[in-house]
Amino acid sequence: MSSTKRKPSRVKSSRNGKSKKGSRPSSPNKPSQDSIVSVLAESRVFNPPKSFSRTALIGSEQQYKKIWRDSVKNPTKFWAKQAKEQLEWIKPFKKVLTWKPPFAKWFEGGKLNVSVNCLDRHVRTEKRNKAAIIWEGEPGDTRVLTYHDLLREVSKCANALEAMGVKPGHRVAIYMPMIPEIAIAMLACTRIGAMHTVVFGGFSSEALADRCNDSQASVVITADGGFRKGANVPLKKNVDAALEKTTSVKNVLVVKRTGESVTMKPGRDHWWHDVVPNQSGHYEPYAADSEHPLFLLYTSGSTGKPKGILHTTAGYLLGATISAKYVFDLKETDTYWCTADAGWVTGHSYIVYGPLANGATAVMYEGAPNFPDWGRLWSIVEKHHVSILYTAPTAIRACIKAGDEWPKKYNLKSLRLLGSVGEPINPEAWIWYHEVIGGKRCPIVDTWWQTETGSMMITPIPGAIPQIPGSATKPFFGIDPEIVDKNGNPVPKGQGGFLVIKKPWPSMLRTIWGDDERFKAAYWSQIPGMYFTGDGARQDKKGNFWIMGRIDDVLNVSGHRLSTMEIESALVSHDLVAESAVVGRPDDLKGEGIICFVTLKAGISPSTEVKDKLSKHVVTQIGALARPDEIRFADALPKTRSGKIMRRLLRDVAAGKQSTQDTTTLEDLSVLANLRQDED
């Protein structure tokens, strides 16, 4: 792309609010199981502002189109060029792609190290003393780490981990608050060639134990606790409980953050401040093969236990690097802030690897958006002069609810670009984000991607692609998505269908950890030869993609993917529960709320007390983010004759709708009638 001449933009300046607003259903997130209904779309178009396009890395739609067309016509040529230009190699690769569907190998023969790409290569330049991470703790404390500082800390941490026996290929679980040490720990693993598996700090000890067991992690890196809404999250205590149920973990490295008292088990538990600072600030980076495993990240599937998504070194890093560069239009002068937690893939790709590989300055914030009040996000933008803000629709909706007076108290003029990720953004939230936060001058990139895709797949390039509220618009370079029916045939434009990716791409997941068969079944068996995203979508006549949400039994709660199966299993694991079914209900704030239908064991009477018990139980089993919004007791659940719970009916009941669904396979119609009566 650097070789492509920038053409003058022919895009008209922003036509804010010139609207023919179409009607949209209240929830575009939940198409029915068997068919996907196309919806009438939003038609307000926001062209990239001229002033933005003029200085953008990609400044016109023609330029985008040319690069994209060439990239999908000859993907290996495109990716080879990018890999050479964007990454620093210890040994050049020999072959771009070996594709034995569904197994891909990218850049074989090459060797590189991720931490070298994120740190050393900048430390050798004038970026040496540039801020890599500007961190703000929830209580208001701040730390700034330059690229040189970060390299030294990462090397020390790598030495400490090596002293604990960590070797290339080993798994290290990271269960930490959002403090700089989380990025240091991740990068230290990559320096050694060890794999990290970051477990979101909001997950319970049970969830941590499951992930340690599945990955057979030998070390856990954690903290005494973390701050959240002014309270302490007892991370070390959770680790202690998790380790009762695991045998693989031999060492625990503990950062002191909150200062609350914790139990340290001699021989197993080590304070970070005792073992890291006195290590050497040099660690010879491991020369990893391109396909060397980089990390595991667990994500919910529709059935059974969470899936350990495996990403590998060169391909993942390339995807994160070039998408961060072109989608955020990163410039030397930018201060970039992604509000995600490092425990999610967004934090991996767009707090740590993407921004650092580009030598950018990234803001990191520890706490809640509403602590001490709803002005916190905006105070951070003002204080650090944030120029690029990447957040989630659920956060935007919460801010809308809190009121415009909060952002209005702060100077947000430093912002030049806004981003959204995690779920479809409702047009109303898009417009608010554009007007109230972006002052009508900032383009918005609505980025569609997944833990599995590693990096952004469908998103506007901000200086080039006209934005439409609610549409993720166009595919990223080298990405070839399509909307197909269940046989894999493309559906006509405007019609809903399954979103698939037709060609392999470098940052795609390589498998599910230890389960190639599940990998094939989950992503490659529905539509032969194509990657099945699990999302429904449609493409409009102009080629813009509109994501309609998950088509399986996964909920999208506040931008987090939660498996209904896991919540059901948690409920059923309680002594009082006989059976349960969990469905989503459209929720203005969270995207989807969690509605649990529960049948109790014989002799147990429903009561508020039982509800509270079950709710608490789900929280201990999975974490606070899975806390049920509603628990409803039922004598029986609607089932098919083959015994499958009919969740689509329950979804209607939960939403308070009269079902228009086909009930011919329902075993006992009276069950449904009873469920409805309970509502009154």
Residues that bind ligand WT7 (CB under 6 A): 299, 344-346, 421-424, 446-451, 472, 533-535, 547, 549-550, 556, 561
The CB-of-279 to ligand WT7 minimum distance in angstroms stands at: 34
Q: List the one residue out of 590, 589, 571 whose CA is nearest residue 581.
A: 571
Q: Which is nearer to ligand WT7, 510 or 632 (CB)?
A: 510
Q: Which is nearer to ligand WT7, 355 or 534 (CB)?
A: 534
Q: What is the CB neighbour count within 10 angstroms for residue 659?
A: 18
The CB-of-208 to ligand WT7 minimum distance in angstroms stands at: 18
Q: Which is nearer to ligand WT7, 469 or 549 (CB)?
A: 549
The CB-of-452 to ligand WT7 minimum distance in angstroms stands at: 6
Q: What is the CB neighbour count within 10 angstroms for residue 291?
A: 18
The CB-of-32 to ligand WT7 minimum distance in angstroms stands at: 16
Residue 263's alpha-carbon distances to 268, 271, 275, 611, in angstroms, are 11, 11, 17, 33
Kindly give, in sequence order, each residue whose CB lies less than 8 Å from that of residue 643, ignoring residues fewer than 6 positions away: none
β-strands 361-365, 335-338: how paired?
parallel
Q: Which is nearer to ligand WT7, 89 or 350 (CB)?
A: 350
Q: What is the CA radius of gyration of the chain?
A: 24
Q: Which is nearer to ligand WT7, 279 or 533 (CB)?
A: 533
Q: Which is nearer to ligand WT7, 106 or 200 (CB)?
A: 200
Q: Which is nearer to ligand WT7, 306 or 367 (CB)?
A: 306
The CB-of-198 to ligand WT7 minimum distance in angstroms stands at: 13
The span from the CA of 460 to the CA of 441, in Å, is 16
The CB-of-203 to ligand WT7 minimum distance in angstroms stands at: 13
The span from the CA of 164 to the CA of 185, in Å, is 14
Structure tokens at 308: 């350990």
The CB-of-458 to ligand WT7 minimum distance in angstroms stands at: 8
The span from the CA of 451 to the CA of 98, in Å, is 22
Q: Which is nearer to ligand WT7, 152 or 561 (CB)?
A: 561
The CB-of-465 to ligand WT7 minimum distance in angstroms stands at: 14
The span from the CA of 103 to the CA of 510, in Å, is 6
Q: Count how many Cα atoms sit within 13 Å of the Cα of residue 136 in the half-sphere of its side chain.
A: 21
Q: Which is nearer to ligand WT7, 594 or 671 (CB)?
A: 594
The CB-of-302 to ligand WT7 minimum distance in angstroms stands at: 12
Q: Exposure of 282 by Cβ count < 10 A (0-12 exposed, 13-18 middle, 19+ buried)?
A: exposed
Q: What is the CB neighbour count within 10 angstroms for residue 478?
A: 26
Q: Which is nearer to ligand WT7, 30 or 228 (CB)?
A: 30
The CB-of-632 to ligand WT7 minimum distance in angstroms stands at: 26
The 3-state DSSP class for residue 448 equals strand
Kindly give, in sequence order, each residue whose CB lies less than 8 Å from that of residue 140, ignoring residues fewer than 6 positions away: none
Q: Which is nearer to ligand WT7, 153 or 592 (CB)?
A: 592
Q: Which helix (H) or strand (E) holds 517?
A: helix 516-523
Q: Which is nearer to ligand WT7, 117 or 346 (CB)?
A: 346
Q: In the β-sheet with 417-421, what is the strand arrangement from edge to edge?
A: 142-146, 131-136, 361-365, 335-338, 388-391, 417-421, 444-447
Residue 106's alpha-carbon distances to 79, 88, 94, 219, 316, in angstroms, are 9, 15, 10, 29, 10
The CB-of-672 to ligand WT7 minimum distance in angstroms stands at: 28
The span from the CA of 50 to the CA of 99, in Å, is 41
Q: List the one residue out of 568, 561, 573, 559 whose CA is nearest residue 628.
A: 568
- Angle of helix 313-327 relative to helix 75-86, nearest 10 degrees? 80
Q: What is the CB neighbour count within 10 angstroms for residue 573?
A: 12
Q: List the one residue out of 250, 273, 271 whose CA is nearest residue 262.
A: 271
Q: Which is nearer to ligand WT7, 28 or 75 (CB)?
A: 28
Q: Which is nearer to ligand WT7, 326 or 344 (CB)?
A: 344
Whether 307 and 514 have beta carbons less than 8 Å apart is answered as: no
The span from the CA of 600 to the CA of 582, in Å, is 15
Q: Which residue is nearest to ligand WT7 (CB)?
A: 451
Q: Which is nearer to ligand WT7, 258 or 451 (CB)?
A: 451
Residues in the chain: 680
The CB-of-31 to ligand WT7 minimum distance in angstroms stands at: 11
140: left (phi over 0), alpha (psi -120 to 50) or beta: left
The CB-of-535 to ligand WT7 minimum distance in angstroms stands at: 5
The CB-of-561 to ligand WT7 minimum distance in angstroms stands at: 4
The CB-of-355 to ligand WT7 minimum distance in angstroms stands at: 15
